[in-house]
Amino acid sequence: MQITKFSDYALRILIHLATHEDGLMTTREIAGMQQLPFNHLAKISQWLTHEGYVESVRGRNGGMRLAVSPEAISIGGLLRKSEHGTPLVECMKEDGGCCVMTPACGLLPILNEAQEAFFAALDSKTLQDVLVGNRGMRNLIRALEAEQALK
C-alpha cells in the first residue's frame, strides 16, 4: 500500500514539530528544510490544526506546535483520517467507481481486509515511537534547522 503525499508530508510536519524544542515553527521553515512547496504544506498544516494535532499561533512571532503529546498521536489514526476517500482501486471509490467487474468481483473484500490490516498494524504506533531511540532523526532535524537558520 502506498500513502499519499498529503499523508507523507503531514507525518513530516509532525516529526519536525515533535523534535523542535525551541518554541514555535512556521510552515515556511519546515517547507524550506524539507525542500517542499510552501503552499502545499500550508494546506496540510491547516488540516493538522483542524484535526487537533497542531495548534497555530498567529502574529509576528507565530508558528505551530504540537497540540498533543507525541505519545497521543497514533500513526494509524492519522493515516485513517488523511487517507479517507483515497481508494486502493477503482471499485473502492465512494461512488463505486466505473469498473465493469465490480458486481461479481471477489477482489474488493480482500483489498478491504488488507487495507484494514495495514491501518491496524499502525494503530498502536505513535509519533513517539518514531522518535524513541532514533537519535539519528533528532540529529538530522537539528542539522536541518541549523542549515535553515543560516539562509
Residue 137: pLDDT band with limits 50, 70, 90: confident
Which string of DSSP letters, residue by residue, matches 60-124?
TT-EEEESS-GGG-BHHHHHHHHTTT--SSGGGSTT-TT-TTGGG-SHHHHHHHHHHHHHHHHHT
Give per-residue pLDDT as tens, 95-124.
777 888 878 888 888 988 999 999 999 999
pLDDT in tens, 64-97: 999 999 999 999 999 999 998 787 887 777 777 7
Q: pLDDT value at position 7?
A: 96
Average pLDDT over residues 39-49: 98
Nearest to 22 by CA among 148, 134, 151: 148
CATH for the 5-73+126-150 domain, from 1.10.3720.10, 1.10.760.10, 1.10.10.10, 2.40.30.10: 1.10.10.10
CA distances to 1, 45, 116 from 111, rounded to whole Å, are: 10, 30, 8
The pLDDT > 70 percentage for the chain reads: 98
| Predicted pLDDT of residue 91 | 76
- Every domain of the chain with CATH number 1.10.10.10 lies at 5-73+126-150
Q: How many CA atoms lie within 13 A of 74 on its CB side?
A: 11
This model's pTM is above 0.85? yes
**CA–CA gap between residue 126 and residue 96 (Å, rounded):** 32
